[in-house]
């Protein structure tokens, strides 16, 4: 075992009893020399030496190296990204789940339905070096009886819906135009629109459906037009294939679910099947789709119903991939992260290299398009996970990061390790030099030889 692996294993054992309650700390930015490295480049495993200085990968060894490691036997991947969740959009959720993201190696995340005041409390926390990088949606728009009112209100009713402040309620294109100044005032570069069973307008008259529906297609189209005119982008929640079509007709930038992630009305699986024409339209319009297949496991379906829904998901994924639609990795699992989605998609048969590329390259770049993420070339942000072996052969390696590094900083639950990391350290990349034996003085050596002769 290379010394670096031994040291990480030892730190893990020492930390097991004491670290669970400790928050993650970030070291100062370190310069690194990673010898005999292997890393995933989006298609295959590459080999060579890697160097880090000032938070980015560089072409040559830095003049001063804080960490020199032999990476033989290990594999580096870029951090994972979570394109759809809600668990870090409040200060309470941050306290509960932020360190889980670091544990899971998820260093980029999008929260898709926060209110401005709640997100304002989170932003300083998200600015810490040991925090995941965040993108927030603070304008989440649904109908007056729409999703997720049934989830966020203790007692869903028209009165409580009108009083809440997390969601913006819009009932028509006219209301969309009238409320646009207030929607703009909520800030952010994104809007989230809710489309749910939009092909069944009669459901709006059923009391038991209160809080589970969404916008009219014409209202969604008006809001999308207003957002684009103001330089903002739009992500749409969808349930059915008809919602998917309505989102495309509205011209949204991202569709927040693969249709068929849930079947809350016990409908036929065909209701969720994306057509080839819709997939082709999404590709033409460059509309990305967030997968969220891990969320299906939250609904506790009977085996036959679950199998039918999973088959629709496989077909939808294959159809979107064949058309060239951009897929983004997101779980929409409140108690989890996109690592759950990674395994859910693997179980659905997504090709392993494609899956890792989506998680570590395509999704981070979609969330933060102005940054050089998901790469190991000079100039790329030096954020990576060190795994024990090749995740293309064994995806479970992603579940056990040995090291987590963000922009050259070591992330650790050991405060002493974080504080001391920028000091000179023992290299694990070079074999220790053997001490040369001193030759005894000439006269002394002859004396020893003579005494040995006498003893014989």
Fold category of 1-77+375-432 in CATH: Urease, subunit C; domain 1 (2.30.40)
In the chain, where the domains are located: 1-77+375-432, 80-372
Asked: is 80-372 a CATH 3.20.20.140 domain? The reply is: yes
Q: CA nearest 296: which of 327, 261, 339?
A: 261
User: Is the pLDDT reported for residue 389 higher than 90?
Assistant: yes
pLDDT at 419: 79
Task: Count the alpha carbons within 13 Å of 14 in the hemisphere toward its beta carbon.
Answer: 11
Cβ-contact 184, 129 below 8 angstroms: no
Cβ-contact 137, 113 below 8 angstroms: yes
- Which strands make up the sheet holding 190-194, listed edge to edge? 167-169, 140-142, 190-194, 233-237, 254-255, 288-290, 327-328
Note the pLDDT tens digit of each residue in 228-247.
Answer: 999 999 999 999 999 999 99
β partners of residue 77? 385
pLDDT at 444: 47
Q: How far apart are CA 199 and CA 317, in angstroms?
A: 22
Q: 421 pLDDT band (50/70/90 cuts)?
A: confident
pLDDT at 433: 55
β partners of residue 237? 194
Identical fold for domains 1-77+375-432 and 80-372, yes or no, is: no
pLDDT at 184: 97
User: Is the pLDDT reported for residue 390 higher than 90?
Assistant: yes
Residue 408: count of CB within 10 angstroms of its CB? 24
Percent of the chain with pLDDT over 90: 86
pLDDT at 426: 44
User: Does an H or E element contain 33, and which?
Assistant: strand 32-40
Q: 181 pLDDT band (50/70/90 cuts)?
A: very high
> Reduced to 3 states, what is the DSSP secondary structure of residue 406?
strand
Q: How far apart are CA 233 and CA 189, in angstroms?
A: 6
> Reduced to 3 states, what is the DSSP secondary structure of residue 341?
helix
Both tokens assigned to 446: 């002859």
pLDDT at 25: 95
Q: How many residues does the chain have?
A: 456
Mean pLDDT of the chain: 91
Both tokens assigned to 451: 């005494």
Question: Of 41-55, 209-223, 319-333, 433-447, which range is least confident?
Answer: 433-447
């Amino acid at each position: 075992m290379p010394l670096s692996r031994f040291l990480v294993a030892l730190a893990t054992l020492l930390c097991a009893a004491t670290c669970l309650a400790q928050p993650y700390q970030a070291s100062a930015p370190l310069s690194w020399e990673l010898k005999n490295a292997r890393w995933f480049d989006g298609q295959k495993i590459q080999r060579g030496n890697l160097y880090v200085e000032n938070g980015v990968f560089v072409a040559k060894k830095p003049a001063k190296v804080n960490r020199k490691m032999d990476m033989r036997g290990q594999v580096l991947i870029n951090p994972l990204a979570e394109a759809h969740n809600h668990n870090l959009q409040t200060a309470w959720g941050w306290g509960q789940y932020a360190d889980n993201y670091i544990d899971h190696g998820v260093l980029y995340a999008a929260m898709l339905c926060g209110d401005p005041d709640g997100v304002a409390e989170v932003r300083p926390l998200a600015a810490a070096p040991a925090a995941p990088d965040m993108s927030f949606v603070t304008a989440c728009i649904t109908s007056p009886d729409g999703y997720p009112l049934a989830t966020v209100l203790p007692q869903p009713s028209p009165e409580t819906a009108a009083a809440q402040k997390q969601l913006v309620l819009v009932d028509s294109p006219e209301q969309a135009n009238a409320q646009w100044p207030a929607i703009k005032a909520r800030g952010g570069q994104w809007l989230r629109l809710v489309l749910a069973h939009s092909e069944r307008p009669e459901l709006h008259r059923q009391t038991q459906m209160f809080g589970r529906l969404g916008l009219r297609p014409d209202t969604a189209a008006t809001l999308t037009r207003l957002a684009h005119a103001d330089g903002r982008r739009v992500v749409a929640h969808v349930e059915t294939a008809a919602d998917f079509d309505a989102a495309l007709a509205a011209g949204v930038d991202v569709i927040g679910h693969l249709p068929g992630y849930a079947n809350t009305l016990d409908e036929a699986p065909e209701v969720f099947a994306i057509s080839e024409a819709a997939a082709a339209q999404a590709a033409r319009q460059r509309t990305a789709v967030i997968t969220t297949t891990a969320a299906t496991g939250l609904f506790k379906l009977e085996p036959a119903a679950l199998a039918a829904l999973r088959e629709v998901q496989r077909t939808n994924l294959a159809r979107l991939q064949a058309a060239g639609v951009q897929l983004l990795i997101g779980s929409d699992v409140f108690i989890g992260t996109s690592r759950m989605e990674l395994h859910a998609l693997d179980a659905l048969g997504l090709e392993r290299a494609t899956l890792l590329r989506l998680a570590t390259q395509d999704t981070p770049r979609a969330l933060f398009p102005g940054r050089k993420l998901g790469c190991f070339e000079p100039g790329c942000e030096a954020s990576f996970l060190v795994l024990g072996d090749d995740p293309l052969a064994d995806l479970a390696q992603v579940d056990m990061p040995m090291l987590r590094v963000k922009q050259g900083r070591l992330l650790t639950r050991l405060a002493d390790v974080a504080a001391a990391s920028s000091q000179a350290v023992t290299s694990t990349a070079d074999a220790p030099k053997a001490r040369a034996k001193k030759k005894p003085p000439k006269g002394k050596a002859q004396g020893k030889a003579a005494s040995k002769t006498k003893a014989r």
